[in-house]
Amino acid sequence: MGEHHTVLSAADYRALTEARVREPRSLRRALAERRRRPLVGADGRMLLLAADHTARGKLAIGSDPMAAVDRHSLLERILTGLADPRVDGVLGSADVLEELALLGALDGRLAVGTMNRGGIVGAHWELDDRLTAYDVEHVVSTGLDGGKTLLRVEPTDPAVPRTLEMVAAITTALADAGLMSLVEPLPYLKRPDGTVERDPSEDALTRMVAIASGLGSSSASTWLKIPATADPARVAAATTCPVLLLGGDAGRDWPRVFDRWRTALEVPNVRGLVPGRVLLYPEELSVRDVVGRAGDLVHPSSTHPSMEVPA
């Protein structure tokens, strides 16, 4: 797995654990009081680091089922990514966002809170994606820039209607608050043994994009998070909502992922990337190098996008 630079000292990491014991309010306060920025800069594009996978028990990288379990390593990798000024911010659960805020890493960056993490990986209820992380009230009160919901649809699963209703209500509430509702609509299939896997069909994904675009009483704040496919223009044509592309666990196949990103970013409403493991746990390159390549795709200008405030 690619190396990353040591940017979080043992002393600073110990200070985080001490803060949880001696001054727990400092974590939430650091997040709420951080310096804010516009959602997008003049180029209208966005590069987020996705760091919400651990909250759903998704710890595997490649063949190592526990690769992402070490919190010090995860924070170091995120901090290394944030050292690139073209990274606009982080998508994460409260523990990750509060720790980064206490370290001062989210000043002038976006913080998007993940919301429904109840579909624990490998559980028999995995598609029952209930609200277990942020709710709308705390996305607003904590000063976040938006909330992200996972919307996985498998036609025979009884939990799906509840998830659809929940994501619609969250989208409406975030739109009312003027905050981003980042929806991740994904088609799923059930295997014969009852476990689930993502449906690779481009038709199925396009249908999910159309469904997600119509959720809630307003789509004004809706952004979509989807995988890059072989024909991204066809998928993106199902909506006018801005689209961010996810990455997944690419392993040694990362050049193909980057090639698909490059092609997809030519589509007008594909506005950026929100990768997690492909940038934070690269198999071959360093975190700094792979994040730099993603920054080249999303923000080719050397100007810090958060400093470019739209007129």
Locate the domains of the chain by residue range.
10-306
Query: What is the model's pLDDT at position 307?
Result: 40
Considering the segment(s) 10-306 as one domain, its CATH architecture is: Alpha-Beta Barrel (3.20)
| CA nearest to 145, candidates 185, 174, 115, 184 | 174
Chain segment 93-125, per-residue pLDDT in tens: 999 999 999 999 999 999 999 999 999 998 989
Q: What is the dihedral of CA 283, 286, 290, 293, to 10 degrees?
A: -140
Chain segment 287-302, per-residue pLDDT in tens: 999 999 999 999 997 5
Is the Cβ–Cβ distance between 199 and 242 less than 8 Å? Answer: no
Check whether 85 has a pLDDT greater than 80: yes
Place 142 in a pLDDT band, splitting at 50, 70 and 90. very high
Place 247 in a pLDDT band, splitting at 50, 70 and 90. confident
The pLDDT of 177-182, averaged and rounded, is 98
Query: What is the model's pLDDT at position 3?
Result: 54
Check whether 30 has a pLDDT greater than 60: yes
The pLDDT of 135-162, averaged and rounded, is 97
Query: What is the model's pLDDT at position 148?
Result: 98
Place 308 in a pLDDT band, splitting at 50, 70 and 90. very low
Check whether 61 has a pLDDT greater than 70: yes
Query: Whole-angstrom distance between the N-terminal and C-terminal Cα of the chain?
Result: 43
Query: What is the Cα–Cα distance from 125 to 158, expressed in whole angstroms?
Result: 10
